[in-house]
Structure 1
Amino acid sequence: MPELPDVEGFRQALLTCGRRRSVTDIDVRDTGVLRGVTEKRLRRELTGKLLGKAWRHGKWLFVPVGGGPTLVFHFGMTGSLRCCSSDEPIETHDRIVLKLDGTRNLRYRDQRKLQGVRLARDTAVDRILDGLGPDALAVNRGEFLDLLSGRRGTVKSALMDQSVIAGLGNLLCDEILWRARVDPRTPARNLSEKALRRIHAAMGRVLATSVRAGCVPPRRSWLTGRRDDTAPLCPRCGGSMRSCRVTGRRTVWCPQCQT
């Protein structure tokens, strides 16, 4: 599932491919990814318009369109945004193709179509942002402590709640809590200030590396690189890792290290 580092990578691809380029045509290959906008309106609002500088908040990507609405992407479980050459073959799950002046096009690729593409005026963008917490890359330690201290539910559910902190998903949360040596099932309100400081520091380190990689890297020295093994062993202590469902998501942790 695309998380903050993936979406930041999509933003960089868009900047490389489309910034200050005009949309010459739009090929909507599957209207099932359109959210609140028709194919006709999408074509009318974008064709001939310049794409501005894309920006991101959490897992949402926003692209200003010259003098008009903002093009908004949310990638759900399987979405991505690709910068391709115009002669590159279309793939099965390429749902929307924005053809740009020059030899490039942008492709919204998505297998499961759980989210999709919107057009939003300023007030609609504000409504999206109002439902989100601060971006995970921008949260300082004091703000982080305020956001999590005393919250009901597990620490993992608090971290994954986009209205608390925007951008963290399942892989990031498991990696962050493993590095901070905190059991993901721990009630957030039971965490000491010292533990919360460790989580915030781990979040910063994990995000910095993951943004550079454009994903949560599956390194063998990371929990992420071991979680899908048949019998995963902790990269730190070598003990057997456990898994269960937390907030409806498969959660992996080390019972020896995360107490």
Structure 2
Amino acid sequence: MPELPDVEGFRRVLDGCGPGRCVRRVDVRDTGVLRGVGVRRLRREVEGRRLGRPWRHGKLLIVPVGDGPALVWHFGMTGELVCARADDPPAAHDRVVLTLDDDRQVRYRDQRKLQGIRLAPNQRALQRMLERLGPDALDMTRADFLNLLAARRGAVKAVLMDQSLVAGLGNLLSDEILWRARVAPRRPARALDSAEARHVFTAMRGVLATATRAGRVPPRRTWLTGHRDDGEPVCPRCGERLRSHRVAGRRSVWCAHCQH
């Protein structure tokens, strides 16, 4: 599932394709990815207007359109953005295509259609969307993060994945962060001592810095994410067999020897 680094990669794709360009045509090839907006309104609000500079909050990508509305992309499990030429053959899962005035296209590609595209008609509507989310994981200060953990009874992994508390972290990132911090995912967040909580914060910043540069959560062999899908996965740090269990409804992978 696309997480903060993936969405940052999509932001860079759009930043290199769209800003300042006028949208000449909007083609909706599958209305199943539209959320709260119809085809006619989407075309009316977007066609003939220029795309602004895209920005990201957590897993959401926001693109201003003209001087009023904004397109808001939520990529779900399989969504992505592609910058293509107009004469490039379409892919089977290209759902919405924005043709720009230089004949390039921004293509929203999504196989499973679990999320999709929203239209915020104005800044107030956009703020209402964002109010449901916590601060972006890259913007959190250490003090705010430590206060958040200290106030939560639930499992630390559940806290990290709760978008209303920390925006941008998903399953892979949370497992990687906790593995680096040597903290078991089912530990109650407020049971962590101050040193453990600081280690989680430091691990989060380090993982995000590397993954954001890559535009994805990299499956490096020195990372937990590089082993979790092996047939018999072992910890890249100590060599012990990795364990798997559901935490916050998601498959979680950790090392019982390293993480306590």
Give the TM-score range, shorter chain: over 0.9
Among all aligned residue pairs of Structure 1 and Structure 2, give the percentage whose two residues are the same amino acid: 64
- CA–CA distance in structure 1, aligned partners of residues 22 and 115 of structure 2: 25
Any gaps of 5 or more consecutive residues in structure 2?
none
Aligned AA for 1:22?
C
- What whole-Å deviation, never above 9, does each CA across 1:61-95 have from its counterpart, x for those lacking one? 11111123111111111111111121211011110
The alignment yields a C-alpha RMSD, in angstroms, of: 0.7
In 2, the alpha carbon distance for the partners of 1:181 and 1:85 equals 46
Match of 1:205 in 2: 206
Q: Which residue of 1 aligns with 2:114?
A: 114
Q: State the secondary structure of the residue aligned to 1:18.
A: coil
CA contact (8 A) 2:68 2:123 kept: no
Matched, 1:44 2:44: yes
Deviations 1:26-62 (A, max 9, x none): 1100001011111011111111100001111000111
Match of 1:143 in 2: 144
Secondary structure class of the residue paired with 1:73: strand
> What's the CA shift for 1:150?
2.8
- 1:9 maps to 9
2:249 and 2:128 mapped to 1: Cα distance? 26
CA distance in 2, matches of 1:200, 1:85: 42
Q: Distance in 2 between matches of 1:150 and 1:69?
A: 37
For residue 104 of structure 1, report the CA deviation from its aligned partner: 1.2
In 1, are the aligned partners of 2:21 and 2:100 still within 8 Å (CA)?
yes
Q: Is 1:79 aligned to 2:79, yes or no?
A: yes
Greater Cα offset, 112-121 or 200-209: 112-121
| Aligned partner of residue 82 in structure 2, secondary structure | strand
Letter of the 1:76 partner, please give it.
Answer: G
Say if 2:156 and 2:187, in contact at 8 Å, map to a contact too: yes
Aligned to 1:256: 257
Gaps of 5+ in 1: none
TM-score by length of 1: 0.99
Q: Following the alignment from structure 1 to structure 2, what is the Cα–Cα distance between the partners of residues 206 and 67? A: 36
1:194-243 CA distance string (max 9 Å, x none): 10000000000000000000000000110000000010010000110000
CA distance in 1, matches of 2:37, 2:130: 19
Aligned residue for 2:96?
A: 96
Letter in 2 for 1:6: D
Match of residue 64 from structure 2: 64
> Partner of 2:138: helix, strand, or coil?
helix
| Structure-1 separation of matches of 2:117 and 2:84 | 18
Partner of 1:133: 134
CA distance in 2, matches of 1:182, 1:112: 33
Equivalent residue runs for 1:159-198 within 5 Å: 159-198=160-199
Distance 2:53 2:46 in 1: 15
Rounded to whole Å, the distance in 1 between the matches of 2:171 and 2:84 is 29
8 Å contact from structure 2 (residues 61, 72) kept in 1 = yes
Q: How many residues align?
A: 259
Q: Name the TM-score, length of structure 2 as normaliser.
A: 0.98
